[in-house]
Structure 1
Amino acid sequence: MTRIDTQTRTLTSTVTETVTQSAPAGGVPAPTPSKSSSAAATGTPSPTATAPAAPPEAAAATATSDSETTWWPWVFLALVVLGMLGWWLLRRRRDQAVLEAWDERLRGSEDEASWVEDSLTSQVLARTSTAEAQTIWMAAQPRLLQIDEDLHALTGDAPDEARATRATSLRTLVLELARAVSSDITTEPGTPEQFRARRAVIDYARQRLRAALGPVDPAAGPMDGTPAEAGS
């Protein structure tokens, strides 16, 4: 019993001294260490604070805002496409207008070439005297020169190669016929063989020009301003 009492008194004295040494001056007890301090001291990680979840109204507002800010690229793309389509349509219309204007000029020159082959040449060849034939031919020279100039301009203004070739070919055929007729009326009659040879050249040139122009339209009727009418 004496040994147990001695141990009890020793333990009590030790605890009292420990409490007395740890207490601050003035008798105010030391603050109790917090859980986080204890956890830091013991090496145990403290739980991470979780942010509160956004309310459903805020999430819906965010989704609506995102959807409203993604429509403008599509509108911009649509405007670009519409602009390109409009530009293409305008260019196509302008190109079509250029083609139609050129084709209309060519039709006018073709009518004039048809007049040379069907009307002028026939009138010149039908005259019994060289003087009368030369009078008709000389009266037609300004018109023939205008036809040549128009076809030359059409060749330079042609919007494509096919149209340029058409104008060039037509001009060449008209010139061949004009030269054949001019050679016939400015040359002495000569022998019958020579006369027939010249007329054969004229007939060949007329056939080639008529083949390029197509058959004569009977509904068109005689053209105004022929040299015969001017000289009569």
Structure 2
Amino acid sequence: MALVRSLNYAKTHFVTSAPDITHLPIDSGVEIAFAGRSNAGKSSALNTLTQQKNLARTSKTPGRTQLINLFEVEPDCRLVDLPGYGFAQVPEAIKRKWQKSLGEYLQKRESLKGLVVLMDIRHPLKDLDQQMIDWAVSVDIPVLLLLTKADKLASGAQKRQLDMVREAILPFQGDITVATFSSLKKQGIEQLKNKLNEWFSPITAV
């Protein structure tokens, strides 16, 4: 069994932005993608994970990120910020283009070894979230569902939402983990790091 080594996510740096997979660097190493609705707090989560305020740009207008953004933690270990889906006030043609880029990345990128799907804990498992989970399960990619903005709910309500989501995902029959998360309270950071370390292990194992 591969050893799990802890990566230093504070060293993460920006590599490139690409409109689709044909513009991405060589398909090697391990990539872990972050996906979520445009208002799910994806940029905030990446910034909190890496202890950097502006690694992933948080936009006042959800859905502004139209590109696939690559960040390198260390050689052959990359985090990928996928375009936010849903909510964005953009023309339908652009939404379809984003969806095509997402689908191609998920289904064709060989180095993708894990998917973090971020969902507002108050509004989890919308149609597009479920479609994203479906995609990942269909290509045997493990999933971590992060229920973001957990600080908006009391602890009892958080637990109820967590239990509800865990039960709701059973029919997907995939390798899916669920955790509560708050960028504001630094809640769930260790769970996120542990899962990322586990997924990066085939590369980082000594």
TM-score by length of 1: 0.25
Whose helix proportion is higher, 1 or 2? 1
TM-score by length of 2: 0.27
Q: Which has the higher contact order (CA 8 A, sep 6+)?
A: 2
Whose strand proportion is higher, 1 or 2? 2
Larger Rg: 1
